[in-house]
Every structure is written in C-alpha cells, then in structure tokens.
Chain A
C-alpha cells in the first residue's frame, strides 16, 4: 500500500486517482471531526468537501514536514471555524451553545455506557473549556491523535500541545469532582450518585 506522501507526489504529477485514494482514506475521520465541531451532518459534509478541495488546490504547498493527515485536519479546522463564523455571525466555537445546534445524528443510536445526565454534564464542561484546550483534548481523546500530530494541527510546539491537553483534563476532572461533592448544586438531583456509579462501572 502506498503511503500518503507517495500519493501526494502522484497527485502533484497530475494523477487524480491518487487524490481519490487520499479522499477514501481520510474522509471518515474528517467527517467525524466535522461532526464533533458542528453537530450537524450536512454542515460536517460541507466541511469535508471544502477541506479536500482546498487540499487539492494547495497540494503544491504541502511540504511534507507534517503528515498529510495533520495538514488535512488543520485545513478542516480552519474551514470549520470560517463556516461557524458565517453561520453564527462572528462567533467562535466557544460562543455557540451546543444545545441550540441541531443534532445530525440519532442520539438513540449511541451505544454509550454512561447515563445521559453524566454524559451531558461532561459535554457541557468540555464545551466550557478554552478553544485550544478543548481542541487538544478532543484531538487526543476522541480522535486518538498523537501529541506530535496535535502540535502540527494546532501549529504549536509539542510541549504546548501536551500542556493544553493536560490543563483541559485536569480542569475537567476538578470541575466534575467538585460537582460530585457539592450535593444539591445541580438540577439533576441524582447526578452525584449517577456519576459515582458510572465511574465505578467504567471498564479500564
């Protein structure tokens, strides 16, 4: 199987089939990334399409210092940002209330282990994180990317990517644990019990 870099070389020589192969390889992960930030399938598909077109147009600028995947993710994140700006009037990811954005996927299809209230609570806390921390956390935990890839995507040093991730995780842990011990602090009366139960049930 050819590497991404080999395929990129062929695309530069005018081979469109090689680009088709790159699309096949990366469209799923890009769609997942799009869904994560937009929550809407049609919007996420637009992001994927635009990102690949931009990648095709700018492929001569790809230097190969970062992986093709990282480069593509970087383009996709910028495209998603611009789309959000157009759609929600100048706001960033942070200023969008997730609950106001329609879901493009059926929540009933999820096979998660957690109860809805705990999941929701965690998602709310993730959405409250600063943009770069949230991005580092999402790319690491949900997209399973290495810190090297995250650093490439976020255009920052390796240690900064790690620090953003660490701050995000520790902040979340602190917030969730504070919630855990402050009974009555939430509308969800049995959140505390639910959280504790779920923590103990998680298979490690």
Chain B
C-alpha cells in the first residue's frame, strides 16, 4: 500500500509546487493549482510537505542579531568615522591631482613660450 502511495502522482510535481510556494507562478497557473489543492490529496500533501520543510529550515536559523541597540550606534559611528577619513584622503588625492594638473599646464605653457 505504501509503495502504491509512493507511486501515485498529483497533477503537478515538486518544482511546480515550489514555484507556487515562492509566488513564482502567474495568476492563471495559480488558479489552476488552487483547484488542484482542493481536489487532489497528493498535491495537497506535496505542497504542505514543502511548505512545512521550508518553515523548518527557516526556524533552524542560528543567527541572532544583538538586541542591544548601542551595538548599532557604535557600529554606525565607527563606519562614519572611517568614511570621514576616506573622504579626506579622496579630497587630498583630488587636490593633489588638481595641483599636478595645474603645474603640468604651466610647464607646458612655459615650454610653448620658450619655443
């Protein structure tokens, strides 16, 4: 009996039900699959199985963000301090480039005058 059940198929396979679960089917297909959910026990099982499995993975998440809000304030401050330094370096580089450009232009002008 178990074997027979395993061999039974619904109207749609796992890939379709996964698309359905992820809202990746168009509205027409969704309507068709909604009907299937209502009439096919196999399809319902397939879909529910995927839905539960996805939830199970989601619940296995080990990452917990720090609750202490000061962590984010400090991080923000650290980032903006570093950005300020970088911005200063960029400005210095730009002014160096500008100065170099002016110097080179003057040099070219002098060379032209000399020739």
Co-assembled chains A and B: yes
Task: Choose, from A44-52, A70-78, A79-87, the stretch at the interface.
Answer: A44-52
Task: Choose, from A18-26, A61-69, A89-97, A184-192, the stretch at the interface.
Answer: A18-26
Check B61–A142 contact: CB distance below 8 A: yes
Bound complex: CA A204 to CA B49 (Å):
10
Check B75–A114 contact: CB distance below 8 A: no
Interface secondary structure of A, over-half rule = helix
Q: For this complex, into which size category does the number of interface residues on chain B fall?
A: 35 or more
Check B57–A105 contact: CB distance below 8 A: no
Q: Is A122 in the interface zone, CB < 8 Å from B?
A: yes
Q: Is A132 in the interface zone, CB < 8 Å from B?
A: no
Give the shortest distance, in Å, between A8 (CB) and chain B (any CB): 14
Cross-interface CB contact of A27 among B50, B58, B76, B83, cutoff 8 Å: B76
Bound complex: CA A109 to CA B57 (Å):
18
Q: For this complex, into which size category does the number of interface residues on chain A fall?
A: 35 or more
Check A19–B61 contact: CB distance below 8 A: no
- Residues of chain B contacted by A39 (CB below 8 angstroms): 62
Bound complex: CA A87 to CA B80 (Å):
25
Check A172–B65 contact: CB distance below 8 A: no
Check B76–A141 contact: CB distance below 8 A: no
Cross-interface CB contact of B64 among A28, A52, A105, cutoff 8 Å: A105
Check B80–A20 contact: CB distance below 8 A: yes
Bound complex: CA A114 to CA B80 (Å):
39
Check A53–B83 contact: CB distance below 8 A: yes
Give the shortest distance, in Å, between A12 (CB) and chain B (any CB): 12
- Residues of chain A contacted by B58 (CB below 8 angstroms): 141-142
- Residues of chain A contacted by B109 (CB below 8 angstroms): none
B94-110 interface code vs A (CB 8 A; 1 in, 0 out): 00000000000000000
Check B62–A56 contact: CB distance below 8 A: no
Give the shortest distance, in Å, between A59 (CB) and chain B (any CB): 11
- Residues of chain B contacted by A56 (CB below 8 angstroms): 83, 86-87
Instruction: Tell me the residues in window 145-204 of chain A with beta carbons closer than 8 Å to chain B beta carbons.
Output: 147, 162, 166, 169-170, 172-173, 176, 198-199, 202-204
Check B61–A202 contact: CB distance below 8 A: no
Check B24–A147 contact: CB distance below 8 A: yes
Check B59–A114 contact: CB distance below 8 A: yes
Q: Is B66 in the interface zone, CB < 8 Å from A?
A: yes
Do A141 and B57 contact each other (CB < 8 Å), given the known contacts A16-B83, A49-B82? yes
Do A123 and B24 contact each other (CB < 8 Å), given the known contacts A57-B90, A169-B54? no
Q: A20-B80, A173-B53 are in contact. List 12 more A-B contacts (CB 8 A).
A: A19-B80, A23-B79, A23-B80, A49-B78, A52-B79, A53-B86, A105-B64, A105-B66, A122-B57, A141-B57, A198-B56, A202-B52
A-B contact pairs, 24 of them (CB 8 A): A16-B87, A19-B83, A20-B80, A23-B79, A23-B80, A31-B65, A35-B63, A45-B78, A49-B75, A57-B90, A105-B62, A112-B59, A114-B56, A126-B57, A141-B54, A141-B58, A147-B22, A169-B50, A169-B57, A170-B18, A172-B57, A173-B53, A198-B56, A199-B52
